[in-house]
Chain A
Amino acid sequence: MSSSRNPCFIRIRGVSKLFGDFVAIDDVSLDIAQGELFSILGGSGCGKTTLLRILAGFEQPTRGRVEIDGVDVTDIPAYDRPVNMMFQSYAIFPHMSVEKNISYGLRKDKVGSAEIAQRVDEVIELVQLGDFRKRDPDQLSGGQRQRVALARALIKRPKVLLLDEPLAALDKKLREHTQFELMNIQHELGITFVVVTHDQEEAMTLSTRIAVMNKGRLLQVGEPREIYEYPETRFVADFIGTINTFEGRVSSVDEQHIQVNCETAGGDLMAFNEHELKSGDKVCIAVRPEKIFISRDPPENSEDIRIRGTVDDLGYLGNLSLYRVRLESGKVILVSQQNRQRSAKRSIEWEEQIWVSWRPRSSIVLVN
């Protein structure tokens, strides 16, 4: 892969899509760099699939332009775009063998038969379908069908590969395996992948960057870590992983910190002032469950945020233990702890009085 990657390989500018009165996509602008494995993440009906279909050329945007590798493709039909798609249903032609399915795109481009044979061999090797090339699609398992779909989309060496929920039809074990396979193939070929998914875990592990969408709007674009640790909106914070939230108002501001008075936390919560907030501003403090410590004795570090509570419920997941802790205000928060010590006994029991604490750094300040 070249070192001088084009950061605006795909350039989406002010794209909107209306179906009658329904706004499927609302003024989305987005740049995707060459060679990225980019995910568009969102719930059903958020417009992510429509955006993908606009990139593929199956839908015409109502407003806005789409550029791929410096060429405005907005008015170029699907069959002339340097883009291929892997469909959610895989859309494998049932009346063609695996080989015929895979070579279809090259046959349409009138590529010579010797070259077709060579490239089919290459791509079949890549997705490890060697034993199945003569089979009919109805003799394949779900994982094999997925690979046929991938091979068929890759054989034309597209500039961009679009993947619509590529792993949704596979069972859990196979999904994890395929996920890494996809990443390896992407890495090997250096083709820009745009993945649409509703599965946040999938997006987190696969992607170099994630765009979170809701109701047709783009909420946040960033690396998985950014999206998880520094969500900008309540929706993003909630959608990616789990999070505890405390509504409140800023009570005091000093050079670096703010104090936020939250009724549900039973007092002030300290956080870093990342948004230049003023006293009296309405904010929301959010903390990830794994950032909270749980202990019997009062935590020593006076900088930390400390709140008393009782254990309402606990769950042992093997690697993790989950606690539902009821604070004195009545609010229930979720805390997760890694089980670092090998032990058959529980250290903390149901109904036990405990302390929860977290570092001010861990407080995410959400401004609505």
Chain B
Amino acid sequence: MRKQSRFILSVLAFGYAFLYLPLLSVIFYSFNDSRLATVWGGFSTRWYGELFRNEQILDATFLSFRIAATSATLATIFGTMAGLMLVRFGRFRGRTLFSGMITAPLVMPEVITGLSLLLLFVTFQQWFGWPGQRGFSTITIAHTTFSMAYVAVIVRSRLSQMDQSLEEAAMDLGCRPARVVFDITLPLIVPAMVSGWLLAFTLSLDDLVIASFVSGPGSNTLPMYIFSKVKLGVTPDVNALASLFILIVTVTLFTAWFLTNRRARKV
């Protein structure tokens, strides 16, 4: 019995080490005083200070956050609408097709999503003269298209868990159908929408491939900046940046997880 549990523990330790050692080493080396990223030269936080003096990094960060916030908001609006439609509006023609199509972007290779969006933007530019320049707007649209699928899936699963008689009860008590959405449905799926927003936010913040396809000259998101720096050799300030990044993503995801779970128990 003890032997077996030790075996299980070591398997567990190996698995988690496999997952988290790379991340931990990035965080560890971000406190490295040495200019060479892989040689330990004593503890220091100077690279974190350096980060905030680097104009390029600050620009990229600002752009990334603007894109993430905008696309997450748009994705939440569209995704919620799609989720509501799929669960609550009866069996319209082609519902199965639509519910399959909403999940397709989740498994589509990013390279293909990126390429197809780039082609679309180029065509639009030739036909309508828009978008004149690829950057904030094109990346935001691209991120919205794939992250709204995630929001739709989350909202849909929340809705299908919800007791449908809640909405009927509201109607029974004199509430008009259009109003029921605001009185009952939306308040109850707000946690799902919030966690959908946070997920969309992190997805947008993380994305490198699609952003690389649809961005134009001079508009670098944070992942793009890191990637281009790494091509010239890893520097300690990138480690510091990556550590901050890990922190932000972790906090966001935990918040999303916490919100979903807390509310799920209530209903």
- Residues in A lying within 8 Å of B, measured CB to CB: 56-58, 77-80, 83-85, 87-89, 91, 93-95, 104-105, 108-109, 136, 138, 152-153, 156
Contact = CB atoms under 8 A, between A and B. Distances in A.
A16 to B, nearest CB: 21
A91 B168 contact: yes
14 contacts: A79-B172, A79-B173, A84-B173, A85-B172, A87-B168, A91-B166, A91-B169, A93-B169, A104-B175, A105-B173, A138-B265, A138-B266, A153-B173, A156-B173
Contacts, number: 64
A87 B165 contact: yes
Nearest to A110: B174
Contacts of A56: 168, 172
Contacts of B173: 79, 84, 104-105, 108, 152-153, 156
Nearest to B176: A79
A78 B180 CA distance: 13
Interface string B171-187: 11111110100001001
A93 B184 contact: yes
B163 interface: yes
Contacts of A88: 165
A56 B174 CA distance: 12
Nearest to B173: A105
Contacts of A83: 172
Contacts of A89: 163, 165
B184 A79 contact: no
Interface in B185-202: 187-188
A87 B266 CA distance: 19
B165 A95 contact: no
Interface size bracket, B side: 20 to 34
Contacts of B177: 79
A108 B175 contact: yes
A-B pairs, 3 with minimum CB distance? A105-B173, A91-B169, A108-B174
Given A89-B163, A93-B184, A138-B266, A79 B169 contact: no
Contact of A78 (B172, B188, B266): B172
A217 B176 CA distance: 33
B170 interface: yes
B160 to A, nearest CB: 15
A84 B266 contact: no
B166 A79 contact: no
B159 to A, nearest CB: 14
A311 to B, nearest CB: 50
Which residue among B170, B174, B188, B265 has the maximum number of chain A CB atoms within 10 Å of its CB? B174
B267 interface: yes
A136 B265 CA distance: 13
Contact of B170 (A57, A80, A93, A94): A93
B178 to A, nearest CB: 11
Given A87-B168, A93-B184, 14 more contacts: A57-B172, A78-B171, A79-B172, A79-B174, A84-B172, A91-B168, A94-B267, A105-B173, A105-B174, A138-B265, A152-B173, A153-B173, A156-B173, A156-B174
A87 B169 CA distance: 8
Contacts of A78: 168, 171-172
A89 B173 CA distance: 16
Contact of A95 (B169, B179, B187): B187
Nearest to A80: B174
Contact of B188 (A94, A104, A152, A153): A94
